[in-house]
Chains A and B, each alone.
Chain A
């Protein structure tokens, strides 16, 4: 990196070479291609600049770089009859049905989708990188913001990975509280999915009905943690607070109410003739393809593979609860719908069991190197004061090593990889976000179908751009 401009920031230089070279090679490639096709837009000077500097300092910046990306080679592979007229349409990044800023480079023949290329990256927030600059416990609110409908899951995956590194025991009560909140979060996430999917196929009222129940869940979150979204409730070693008085009653009321609400949604959708004709036999991809692409969660279960990490690799006391894993038969959008509806019912069952069997005891580990001491101890115990000071200022030191903690998120396997170098800040945090992996299968599901089915399939895929781009 000696030929780099000196103005380049010097920190974390050891990471830079690989990425830098990569960008430079890509730049050269683009320049070559411009020469080959004789593009008048790129004068030789600009091309040279592109070739020599990283993408971040390309003249004209990001836009120019984006404009230089050539997708024609990918689009050339569309298999169709010779005389067919193809129409390439760019759906997104700003499009009402792409659930955020997803861009779908779609090739249509009439209204039939011949090819679709999802292009991501418009919501990149750099959370993973930012985490490397935070103490372990300060990274929790950051990871929560990745997949913004599954914040408890993000926190759970991250805390789980750090707990694995720390070899820290989570008290039973904390595990149960986690389960309750995770399942509430799953229902909440599925409700948003239900509302937006129904909206995408035109049944607009469901959105408001499902958001009504979502409100109840958010109220419960606010009750237990003070926040409606991104609650920062899960801590390394347990949960932040015990549940407040009266919360259990509110939760029980919700648990009683929710199955009736689900019946109401079903009454509007499950046997609706139009809904059936839109959802049945659309967006099918065989289970083998899905598995080959790493698709997990309701998508895979709808295709008939009963793969659920809560059963396969129980974490956080999930083996204490009696619940079923709903699976579909065909793997079409209708199965995806049914599986998610059934999952919500199962989640309600899990919550019910967890609140019935909620054990007494501490809600966070008593390891003072990990969890903050109770407030009252600070006045009387010198050690507590020292622990408090160290945890708040520096944070906990985590033994060097790597850990991958995978849980069953609402969209599939949500795993968090944490590498520790022994300091109080993670050396690397990476999230295996299920939306990102699942999105790979979109092309297989949509090819040959109608554009309207593509939208329905995308909705049933339930991608979350916050999680995809991170």
Chain B
């Protein structure tokens, strides 16, 4: 029986266990940085200094936020479906971190203390599919969290999550078809290597824009932050969450933000490749991080600028605008690739 999928480079098992911990650690420690970065940046956009009380220049603000949440009482509504209520934030966060695992920070294995280590969690030849799979499972965290809270606000938030999910996800997938056809692979490292000459953002500009917009919907950022919709649904699906469980959703949200940046970097901005420069391998992760920061900055900028859509408008936009554009983009790419 043929293998369903193969894995690129992989290390001995003990290195893999270590690596899993490291990826988890890196993912987790990027969260407070992203949190602080977003709040500082938003502050500057809005004529205010942003957090600057806790620690030097407010650097300990995220730690204070998260520790405060963790120190709070773990409560749940009387009518909540207990185990689902507890499980949902975990699902949301685990899935967010799992997608982070697939983002490659360098192509060739780097030599760390004599052991060649690939700077990614997993280099599967169906990497992109796994990303999508985890992203879809991750929305169960939102759906079930809203459903199990037994609150009307949470319920409406969960309903919106379902509506939003079906609206953006197909467009998001189709937008990537162009990249996949051009690269001829689903492996994220190989997609990056295909971009050594020309970043996909140039030939795949339409796909990049479509994917970026759909990603905003996926990670619930403005103008598509309808699940939380703090003005109408209080906090949407997480209205009834507090303390540590809320912190999990909160962390998941920022992991999503980083993953969105990393994924866009990987798929469209050439990953660790720089134009005209062939930097040493140990610089690769920093190049990826720098590009991720650019994307994250852009997302925060959008948040500071735009109002949010209504959820029926998002659905209309997803089905009537994004989906046709993504489809045409995929078709044109396919024709061009075959005819070339």
Q: Which residues of A contact B (CB under 8 A)?
A: 87, 89, 95-97, 108, 110-111, 198-205, 207-209, 212, 268-269, 272, 274-275, 277-278, 450-455
Chain A min CB distance to B51 (Å): 15
Contact: B307 with A275, CB < 8 Å? yes
Contact: B232 with A455, CB < 8 Å? yes
Taking a contact as CB atoms closer than 8 A, the residue among B232, B305, B309, B313 that contacts A205 in the complex is B305
Q: How far is the CA of A277 from the CA of B309 in the complex (A)?
A: 8
Binds A, one of B40-48, B180-188, B253-261: B40-48
Known: A89-B153, A200-B231, A202-B231. A208 touches B307 (CB 8 A): no
B150 within 8 A of A: no
Q: Which parts of B220-248 form the interface with A (CB within 8 Å)?
A: 222-223, 225, 229-232, 234
B156 within 8 A of A: yes
Size category of the B interface is: 20 to 34
Contact: B47 with A208, CB < 8 Å? yes
Query: Which residues of chain A are near B222, meaning CB under 8 Å?
Result: 202
Name B155's closest neighbour in chain A (CB-CB). Answer: A87
Contact: A201 with B48, CB < 8 Å? no
Name B222's closest neighbour in chain A (CB-CB). Answer: A202
Contact: A278 with B307, CB < 8 Å? yes
Known: A209-B47, A453-B310. A202 touches B234 (CB 8 A): no
Name A97's closest neighbour in chain B (CB-CB). Answer: B231
Q: How far is the CA of A466 from the CA of B306 in the complex (A)?
A: 30
- Cross-chain pairs A/B with CB under 8 angstroms, 22 sampled: A87-B152, A95-B234, A97-B232, A110-B159, A111-B160, A200-B231, A201-B231, A202-B306, A203-B307, A204-B46, A204-B303, A205-B45, A212-B47, A272-B306, A278-B307, A278-B309, A450-B310, A451-B156, A452-B231, A452-B232, A452-B310, A454-B232
Query: Which residues of chain A are near B231, meaning CB under 8 Å?
Result: 96-97, 199-202, 452, 455
Q: How far is the CA of A275 from the CA of B155 in the complex (A)?
A: 26
Q: A96-B234, A202-B223, A205-B304 are in contact. List 7 more A-B contacts (CB 8 A).
A: A201-B307, A202-B307, A203-B305, A207-B46, A269-B307, A278-B309, A452-B311
B312 within 8 A of A: yes
Query: Which residues of chain A are near B230, meaning CB under 8 Å?
Result: 96
B39 within 8 A of A: no
The 9 closest A-B pairs by CB, nearest first: A202-B308, A208-B46, A203-B307, A202-B307, A97-B231, A200-B231, A455-B232, A201-B307, A452-B310
Q: How far is the CA of A212 from the CA of B46 in the complex (A)?
A: 10
Known: A202-B222, A202-B223. A274 touches B47 (CB 8 A): no
Query: Which residues of chain B are near A204, meaning CB under 8 Å?
Result: 42, 46, 303-304
Chain B min CB distance to A269 (Å): 8
Query: Which residues of chain A are near B305, meaning CB under 8 Å?
Result: 203, 205, 268
Query: Which residues of chain A are near B234, meaning CB under 8 Å?
Result: 95-96
Contact: B309 with A89, CB < 8 Å? no
Q: How far is the CA of A204 from the CA of B306 in the complex (A)?
A: 8
Name B308's closest neighbour in chain A (CB-CB). Answer: A202
Contact: A201 with B47, CB < 8 Å? no
Question: Looking at B222, B229, B232, B311, which has the most chain A CB atoms within 10 Å of its CB?
Answer: B232
